[in-house]
Amino acid sequence: MAKKNQTPPKTFEEALNELEQILSEIEGGEVGLEESLLKYERGNFLIQHCRGVLNSAEKQIEVLSKSADGGVQSVPLNEPE
């Protein structure tokens, strides 16, 4: 199955919503066979994408503060541990 040309939704929530939509469409039998296969492919991609998100690890916690120009600046948190 081709994974190319698949773009992940911006957020995890959107991905889950899309996934839920796909599931209800496939389970409801509303879509044609080819389309349901395409949606299956998309659904698999979304699941893989979401698993990827869950398995990803963020950097350190950052500390935000008001910068000199009135914006927000961030620096990594130095923890005592």
Interface ranges with other proteins (CB under 8 A): 11-13, 16, 19-20, 22-23, 26-27, 29, 31, 33, 36-37, 40, 43-44, 47, 50-51, 53-58, 61-66, 70-72, 74, 77
Q: Which of 81, 70, 2, 72 is nearest to 40 (CA)?
A: 2
Nearer to other proteins by C-beta: 6 or 23?
A: 23
Gyration radius of the chain's alpha carbons: 20
CB 13 within 8 A of CB 55: no
Nearer to other proteins by C-beta: 4 or 33?
A: 33
